[in-house]
Amino acid sequence: MQLSLLGIRLYRRLREKKVSLIYLPLVFYWTALFIGTSLPVNLLPKIFIWEDKAEHFAAYFLLSMLFNLMLNFQSKVEKLSQHSSFYTIGIMSFYALVDELHQLFVPGRYCDILDWTSDFLGISLGVLLVYRFIKNFKTAKEEAL
């Protein structure tokens, strides 16, 4: 019960403060990710000690969570909210592919299908977690009313 109340509060807070808690972090994170993938490898500090594939997974996991939340909480196009998981997987997978292809033109970087696969797995897990969160706490919120 405590977890449900916490989830309902978080859900409500995200809905009320979507610009500062979802939209702005998405814009900043996506911009930083794009800049990071546009820089030659030798100019980037090694932030993580993980392997390259884990970094791809983590980067797209967070990006897809923010993007999926953005689609869920936007109110202009109902179809985007209703099918946010589908649109997130499609758009993020396409973006990951374009990002991999764009790296062909960045010195010291290369395009790798395994990188895209790691991106896709991160996207899928991020979407799954947001889907479960929204489903659980939207239902709990409706039951509480």
What secondary structure does DSSP assign to 54-81, as a single string?
HHHHHHHHHHHHHHHHHHHH--S-HHHH
Closest by alpha carbon to 60, among 101, 100, 15, 24? 100
Q: Which residues of the chain have pLDDT under 70?
A: 1-3, 42-51, 138-145
**77 belongs to a structural domain:** yes
**145 belongs to a structural domain:** no
Residue 62: per-residue pLDDT? 98
**91 belongs to a structural domain:** yes
**144 belongs to a structural domain:** no
In one-letter notation, the amino acid at residue 144 is A
**9 belongs to a structural domain:** no
Residue 110: per-residue pLDDT? 85
Residue 114: per-residue pLDDT? 93
The torsion region of residue 106 among left (phi > 0), alpha (psi -120 to 50) and beta comes to: beta
- Report residue 19 as tokens: 């610009």
Q: What is the CA radius of gyration of the chain?
A: 17
User: Three-state SS string across 102-139, please?
Assistant: HHHHCCCCCCCHHHHHHHHHHHHHHHHHHHHHHHHHHH
Return mean pLDDT, the chain.
88
pTM higher than 0.75 for the full model? Answer: yes
**30 belongs to a structural domain:** yes
- Domain extent, residue 118, equals 18-133
**139 belongs to a structural domain:** no
Task: Specify the number of domains making up the chain.
Answer: 1
Residue 144: per-residue pLDDT? 52
Residue 36: per-residue pLDDT? 87
Residue 140: per-residue pLDDT? 57
Contact 134, 73 (CB under 8 A): no
**8 belongs to a structural domain:** no
